[in-house]
């Protein structure tokens, strides 16, 4: 597979056919999978989907799924948060990709499997909703 990042291309062997990280424009990451499926993730989505234990725990508390943004607390003033952007992006072997975020957070390693599972496109959202309502076991 081909990982295209600002200033270089790296050849990797993994499930995605190609991964494009639009770090300079800040638009997000596009993945084309070997089966032809395409996924586009905004950086905000990816930050909210951070798979590290800490972020998982916080999401569990609020009943959020990976990629769901924090629900505003009723009556509370909105806290200004800079839009999530990665300051560094690096491949993690064949396994996935790691982002260092502009808020300093850097513990999440996004495996290709995880990214495919939480693809934000409408088809995959529908599939996850069907799985959830059918009472299938949830991922993780």
Question: Which residues are near Zn ion by CB under 5 A?
Answer: 50, 52, 55, 108, 119, 121, 124
Length of the chain: 140
Query: By C-beta, is 21 or 66 nearer to Zn ion?
Result: 66
Going by C-alpha positions, the residue among 107, 61, 103 that lies closest to residue 80 is: 103
Query: By C-beta, is 27 or 116 nearer to Zn ion?
Result: 116
Residue 115 near residue 91 (C-beta atoms within 8 A):
no
Query: By C-beta, is 24 or 131 nearer to Zn ion?
Result: 131
Minimum distance between the CB of residue 58 and Zn ion, rounded to whole angstroms? Answer: 8
Rg of the chain over CA atoms, in angstroms? 16
Minimum distance between the CB of residue 5 and Zn ion, rounded to whole angstroms? Answer: 21
Minimum distance between the CB of residue 23 and Zn ion, rounded to whole angstroms? Answer: 19
Distance, CA of 14 to CA of 33 (rounded, Å): 9
């Amino acid at each position: 597979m081909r990982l295209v990042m600002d200033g270089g291309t790296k050849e990797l062997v993994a499930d995605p056919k190609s991964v494009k990280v639009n770090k300079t424009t800040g638009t997000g990451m596009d993945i084309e999978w070997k089966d032809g499926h395409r996924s586009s993730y905004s950086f905000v989505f990816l930050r909210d989907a951070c798979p590290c234990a800490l972020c998982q725990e916080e999401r569990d508390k609020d009943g959020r799924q990976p990629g769901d943004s924090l629900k505003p607390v009723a009556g509370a003033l909105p806290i200004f948060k800079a839009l999530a952007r990665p300051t560094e992006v690096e491949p993690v072997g064949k396994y996935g990709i790691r982002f260092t975020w502009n808020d300093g957070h850097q513990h999440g390693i996004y495996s290709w499997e995880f990214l495919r599972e939480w693809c934000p496109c409408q088809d995959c959202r529908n599939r996850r909703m069907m799985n959830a309502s059918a009472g299938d076991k949830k991922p993780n």
